[in-house]
């Protein structure tokens, strides 16, 4: 039997004479289970429904939410050998996190100045990761361990009660002044 196919490596149409043609079975993501997990923990997914790693080369088994790792067919169709290798990598990454007594957080996280907060809930609704909440004092609070530092809440707060560390308003205004100094003279 002649089998014609396109070789993606050679980028050419090939034809071979084969005794047997074995096609691999298609695989689809577990839409229901993955959707629930993604909604609860705010985990990103690909258009095909698989979980999306943080960085394909630098963090291939880490999910963008700290403490979450991905391996096997939750990440995409792959062989058992690949799944095992990825599972070992994910276990190694988890081990490095668990072995530490102290975990350093990123410095660029949002902080609320309680005195200015009017508890309007805009930041609570705006945060894509559901981080801000109204605390016992009746003001918004942001857990730095959960904050991704996107700055959406700081931009949305009408009372200017939220500052993104390392990108505070006075910091940015000073930079802008310095930048425009020579231009506006
Ligand atoms: S948006 Fe600003 S004023 Fe409103 S709850 Fe959040 S921090 Fe407070
Ligand atoms: S900086 Fe982004 S992730 Fe952090 S609390 Fe604000 S909106 Fe949420």
Residues 45 and 67 in one domain: yes
Residue-level pLDDT at 98 = 92
Q: Quote the CA–CA distance of 2 and 17 in Å, as a whole number.
A: 4
**C-alpha 90 – ligand 1 centre gap (Å):** 38
For residue 108, the ligand closest to its alpha carbon is 2
Mean per-residue pLDDT, 91-101: 93
- Domain of residue 180 covers 110-184
**162: CB partners within 8 A, 6+ apart:** 110, 111, 112, 113, 123, 140, 142, 153, 154
126 in the same domain as 174: yes
Q: Which atom of ligand 2 sits closest to the CA of residue 142? A: 5
Among 152, 156, 157, which is best to mutate for testing ligand 2, by the most ligand atoms less than 8 A from CB?
152
Q: How much is the mean pLDDT over the chain?
A: 91
**Nearest 10 degrees: Cα torsion 60, 87, 46, 53:** -20
- Which ligand places an atom closest to the C-alpha of 143? 2
Confidence grade of residue 185 (pLDDT, cut at 50, 70, 90): low
pLDDT single digits (tens) 44-62? 999 999 999 999 999 999 9
The band of 25, judged by pLDDT with boundaries at 50, 70 and 90, is confident
As beta bridge partners, residue 133 has: 141
Model pLDDT, residue 9: 87
% residues pLDDT > 70 (the chain): 99
pLDDT in tens, 6-23: 988 899 999 999 999 888
Boundary (domain end) residue, out of 98, 133, 153: 98
Give the tens place of pLDDT for each residue, 130-160.
899 999 999 999 999 889 899 999 999 999 9
Nearest to 162 by CA among 154, 173, 151: 154
- Give the number of domains in the chain: 2
Q: Are residues 114 and 157 in the same domain?
A: yes
Question: The tokens of 97 are what?
Answer: 């996190």
């Amino acid at each position: 039997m002649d089998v014609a196919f396109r070789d993606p490596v050679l980028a050419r149409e090939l034809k071979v004479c084969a005794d047997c043609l074995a096609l691999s079975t298609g695989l689809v993501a577990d839409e229901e289970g993955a959707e629930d997990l993604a909604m609860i923990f705010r985990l990103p997914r690909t258009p095909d429904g698989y979980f999306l790693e943080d960085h394909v080369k630098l963090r291939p088994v880490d999910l963008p939410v700290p403490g979450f790792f991905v391996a096997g067919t939750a990440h995409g169709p792959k062989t058992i050998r690949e799944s095992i290798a990825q599972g070992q990598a994910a276990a190694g990454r988890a081990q490095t996190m668990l072995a530490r007594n102290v975990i350093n957080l990123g410095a660029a996280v949002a902080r609320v100045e309680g005195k200015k907060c009017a508890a309007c809930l805009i930041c609570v609704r705006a945060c894509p990761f559901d981080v801000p909440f109204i605390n016992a004092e009746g003001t918004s609070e942001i857990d730095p361990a959960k904050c991704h530092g996107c700055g959406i809440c700081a931009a949305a707060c009408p009372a200017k009660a939220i500052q993104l560390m390392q990108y505070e308003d006075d910091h940015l205004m000073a930079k802008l002044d310095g930048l425009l100094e020579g231009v506006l003279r």
